[in-house]
Structure formats: C-alpha cells, structure tokens
C-alpha cells in the first residue's frame, strides 16, 4: 500500500538535483544565483534550462543579457552556494562578498566563477513560464573543466537537504 500525498508533498520526494551558481550580468552588474532547478533540455543541440523565480534579481538580468554561465561546484563549495542563495545582487556584489573571482568567458560576455571546476557558457534561446518559476533555456556554446573535477564530488540539493551524489551502482 502506498500513502497518498498532496502534489506539494509528492514533489518533495523527488531525488536531489545538481546545484549550481548561475552567472548573469557583466561588469559591475555581474551577479550569481544559487539554483537547484537545473536540467538538460536537449542533448542535440545541447540545451540547459534553469528555473528562476520572477522575484530574483537574476530574473531581470537574464532578461536583459540573454546569456548565462552554469558554474558547477565541488563539494567544498557549500558556503558559497548557501551565501549566493540567501542574498540578492540588488543589495551586494556577491563576487566580492563571497570572495569569488570572475572568469572571463570565451564565447559569451557574462563571466563564470574561476573557483568552480566546471563552467558551461549558455546563450538564452527560450523562456518558458510554468508557474512560480520561469525556465530559461540556453544553448551551451562553450564548456571548461578543471582537470581534477569528478562528478561524484559535486553538491545536490532538494527538500531542504544538501547531499553529495551516492554510490555508483552500474
């Protein structure tokens, strides 16, 4: 027998999602937002989407710049994820506050985060209004990875929990 849940409860039981810093804006307006609503939307061409609430400063910047970087952390970067996920670029410069360095992108104008081991540069292609978050879907136009980065050493988040990916089962 299975317990019947509300939709709200049901989605909480989904497994944890990769959690990243989305970079948008450039120069003094460069900003970072922590996002766990991140997924691959197409493999060919390579498209990544991120669900962003209209309440976020990053929402306005994504509309303005139509470019973003997906900065994937290693598991030592939890404080940076928590910090950029609990403060707004309307009030502070998050690069300065969290001692992160802007890494110039090769193909797009908005910067990535030097300290983060995987950076995907994306051009915004589509915006989809779903509900309280809108999906910004971008084409990956460049990717850079630190030599020692392992996917198992990243951070996942959902339902109030941060985790590392679990055991390899096949």
Ligand X SMILES: Cc1cc2nc3c(=O)[nH]c(=O)nc-3n(C[C@H](O)[C@H](O)[C@H](O)COP(=O)(O)O)c2cc1C
**Residue 111: helix, strand or coil by DSSP?**
coil
Contact indicator for 24, 67 with CB cutoff of 8 Å: yes
Q: Report d(CA 12, CA 158) in Å as an integer.
A: 7
Residue partners of 155: CB distance under 8 A and separation at least 6: 18, 19, 73, 74, 75, 77, 78, 81, 162, 163, 164
Q: Say whether residue 134 binds ligand X (CB under 6 A).
A: no
Complex with ligand X: residue 26 or 56, whichever CB lies closer: 56
> Among all residues, whose Cβ is closest to ligand X?
85
- Binding string, 58-77, against ligand X, x = CB under 6 A? x-------------------
Contact window for ligand X (CB under 6 A) among 2-10, 45-53, 104-112, 137-145: 45-53
Complex with ligand X: residue 106 or 129, whichever CB lies closer: 129
SS3 content of the chain, % helix, strand, coil (to 5): 20, 35, 45
Among residue numbers 16 through 35, which ones bind ligand X (CB under 6 A)? Answer: 19, 31, 33-35
Q: Say whether residue 142 binds ligand X (CB under 6 A).
A: no
Among residue numbers 83 through 122, which ones bind ligand X (CB under 6 A)? Answer: 85-90
The DSSP result for 68-95, as a single string, is EEEEE--TT-HHHHHHHTSS-TTT--HH
The minimum distance between CB 57 and ligand X, in angstroms, equals 3
- Which residues of this chain interact with ligand X, rule CB under 6 A? 19, 31, 33-37, 51-53, 56-58, 81-82, 85-90, 133, 157
């Amino acid at each position: 027998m299975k317990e019947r849940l509300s939709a709200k409860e049901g989605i909480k039981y989904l497994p944890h999602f990769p959690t990243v810093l989305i970079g948008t804006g450039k120069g003094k307006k460069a900003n970072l937002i922590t996002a766990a609503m991140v997924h691959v939307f197409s493999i060919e061409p390579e498209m990544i989407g991120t669900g962003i609430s209209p309440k976020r400063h990053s929402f306005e910047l994504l509309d303005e710049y139509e470019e973003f970087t997906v900065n994937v952390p290693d598991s030592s970067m939890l404080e940076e994820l928590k910090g950029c996920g609990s403060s707004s670029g309307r009030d502070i410069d998050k690069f300065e506050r969290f001692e992160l360095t802007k890494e110039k992108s090769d193909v797009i104008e908005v910067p990535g985060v030097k300290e983060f081991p995987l950076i995907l540069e994306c051009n915004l292609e589509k915006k989809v209004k779903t509900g309280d978050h809108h999906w910004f879907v971008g084409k990956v136009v460049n990717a850079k990875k630190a030599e020692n980065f392992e996917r198992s050493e990243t951070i996942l988040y959902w339902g109030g929990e941060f985790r590392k990916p679990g055991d390899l089962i096949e």
